[in-house]
Structure 1
Amino acid sequence: MFKKILLATSGAPSTFGAARVAFDMGKRYGAEVLVLNVMGVPTKAYSQVVNDVRTGEEVEVDEEYRAWVEEELKNTFEKQIESVEYSRIILTTGLPHREILRAARENDADLIVMGASSGDSSVYRKGYPGSTLQRVAKAARCPVMTVHRETASYWGGFGNIVFATDFSKQAESAFKFALATARELDTDLTILHALDISGKVLDQNEIEDRIIAARERIRTAYDLDGFKNCDVEVWEGVPYVEIVKMARERSADLIVMAHHSHELDPEKARIGSTMEQVILRAGCPVVSVSKPDKV
């Protein structure tokens, strides 16, 4: 299922958790790990002088500089690179989100893995996912895995997957990915709908009626096609809190959610606030699915 994993990394410590998960997946599932580093954003079109993604300083990207960056990445991830059978380092310059999407497309990646600051210094600024992750998650043809907290990277492979649905159209693609992963890797799957009652005054009978209706909707909307290792849960509360709680209770190794936005312009589209909060708080990797191409 995972043949090529694209790890987008700046080489900074904030991306080490994502690297740990990406290389562990490569080792477990025999996938090739493509280590992508966007060295900088050109100051002018086709210019060799770029603004370094990590420091913001102007540097000239010549063969000597490329060799130095590649050697730094090899030293940084030396043990991980040795642990997998197939790996490759890709160096480029440009706008981080465009280069990540381009590399994923050209290499036919099955999964993009990103950390807290995989492409620019604004990612997760002030505690929220920044522009690079936003744009990659919106436009990627394959699922995008985010590892934000360091604790989310101490990973033991797949054993239990939580798929959180809001019954949107995009959630259908996320469900297909979650089910296919659970089936192929023989894991448990929990389908969760978090009934949003934050800021609402509802009596208990109404809440329970909505929970019953949501359970029925899950069974109607999502065809398990004979898959047996699945539970259906509907919890009421603040959605991101309930999703994180469910993942913790089930000792989940992965949370799968849909990326969707009312914005049509991918340059402006944002990940929904629920996913933002789940990414920031989850104790396991979080996968967002936008397009159905690679699910």
Structure 2
Amino acid sequence: MRGLEHLLAATDLSHAAMNAAHRAAGISKLTGASLDLFHAVNLSGLDRLRRMAPGIPADLDERLTAQPLEEMRRLAADLSERHGAAVGVRVGIGPASVQIDTQAAALPADLMVLGDRGAGALSRLVLGSTAARMAETASCSVLIVKRPPSEPYRSVLVPVDFSSNSLPALRTALAVAPECRIALFHAYGVPFEGKLRAAGIREELLEQYRAAERTAAFADMRRLCQAAGLAEHAASLVALRGPVLLRILELEKERNCDLIVMGRHGEGTPLERVFLASVTKQVLAQSQADVLISAGE
């Protein structure tokens, strides 16, 4: 990924969205990327309301748009004052998920930044529907902010599977958090290990296979670092056996990670894609750290 040029922070003016806006402003200041705030106003029920109540003012749609626009301008001014970053303001009419991606494509944005929860009681219980949808389908990389930002990212975990998405994910991590401590992680295992054991393959031989897979994982991670222009000593390389989701969450806690960066998976068999997408969704749902889904190059 080239250096960041354009950021789009989508906000519904909720508390979680404010965290995302402040994180985006911090990244903008750190990287020099431009930043636009965006708010979608959904007026889909207004025509029906007019039919039911003919006395509604003709300019109600302008009024409904003016209020959030003014709030957005105040937020932009506050972000500029606190972070020293120039912040633009955009408002769109229509469903949030559609409008956000349309705006991101129009910029075009390198990174979309959203809060993990929207306004409303239900959205506080689960990952916000807009955030979840954008993480899966957005035309650019997506950063889901879960924590109030207090400083630039310091400890970043990048799980890799050595597909074509791994290098872009690492490059995205370096672009968003150039001052961070970075750890690459690969969950390795022996293919068909259970079947091999059932077929009578000795444990000593299986252990040799595991050692070979572990050695290959470290070699592949070193090659990724080299391709990303990252000095080997500047990154921690971690290869562990076991369920990938569990290991990611364990490493997040052990290393006190404030950001996890994962590639968006579009390769492999349909079953593999479903599994990898499921892991990403579970990381989004269960991690405490912010999560960045890299769209690739």
Structures share fold, TM-score greater than 0.5: yes
CA separation of 1:94 and 1:251: change in aligned 2, threshold 3 A: same
Give the structure 2 partner of residue 105 of structure 1. 105
Match of 1:174 among 144, 169, 177: 169
Query: What SS does the aligned partner of 2:265 have?
Result: coil
CA separation of 1:211 and 1:253: change in aligned 2, threshold 3 A: same
Inter-partner Cα distance in structure 1 for 2:21 and 2:228 = 34
Inter-partner Cα distance in structure 1 for 2:171 and 2:17 = 28
Determine which structure has the larger helix proportion and give its number.
2
Describe the superposition over 1:27-54 as per-residue Cα deviations: whole angstroms up to 9, x where unpaired: 334443211111115249xx6979xxxx
Q: Give, as a single letter, the amino acid of the residue that structure 1 aligns with 2:253.
A: R
Alpha-carbon contact 2:79-2:85 (below 8 Å) kept: no
Inter-partner Cα distance in structure 1 for 2:120 and 2:268 = 24
Give the structure 1 partner of residue 200 of structure 2. none
How much is the aligned-residue C-alpha RMSD, in angstroms?
A: 3.7
Q: Give, as a single letter, the amino acid of the residue that structure 1 aligns with 2:66.
A: A
2:19 is the alignment partner of 1:17? yes
C-alpha displacement of 1:175: 2.7
Give the structure 1 partner of residue 55 of structure 2. none
2:243 is the alignment partner of 1:244? no
C-alpha displacement of 1:7: 0.7
Alpha-carbon contact 1:9-1:37 (below 8 Å) kept: yes
Give the structure 2 partner of residue 159 of structure 1. 154
Give the structure 1 partner of residue 237 of structure 2. 232
State how 1:279-294 maps to structure 2 within 5 Å: 279-292=284-297
State how 1:215-230 maps to structure 2 within 5 Å: 215-220=218-223, 223-224=226-227, 226-228=229-231, 229-230=234-235
Q: Give, as a single letter, the amino acid of the residue that structure 2 aligns with 1:159.
A: R
CA separation of 1:291 and 1:270: change in aligned 2, threshold 3 A: farther
Match of 2:184 among 188, 191, 207: 191
Query: What SS does the aligned partner of 1:233 have?
Result: strand
C-alpha displacement of 1:282: 2.9
Give the structure 2 partner of residue 56 of structure 1. none
2:8 is the alignment partner of 1:3? no
TM-score of the superposed pair, with normalisation by structure 1: 0.74
Structure 2, unmatched stretches of 5+, are 51-57, 198-202
Inter-partner Cα distance in structure 2 for 1:226 and 1:7 = 28
Alpha-carbon contact 1:196-1:239 (below 8 Å) kept: no
Inter-partner Cα distance in structure 1 for 2:41 and 2:78 = 22
Give the structure 2 partner of residue 53 of structure 1. none
Alpha-carbon contact 2:25-2:35 (below 8 Å) kept: yes
**Count of aligned pairs between the two proteins:** 269
Q: Sequence identity of aligned pairs in percent?
A: 22
Structure 1, unmatched stretches of 5+, are 51-58
Alpha-carbon contact 1:140-1:291 (below 8 Å) kept: no
State how 1:60-139 maps to structure 2 within 5 Å: 62-75=61-74, 79-83=78-82, 84-117=84-117, 127-128=126-127, 130=129, 132-139=130-137
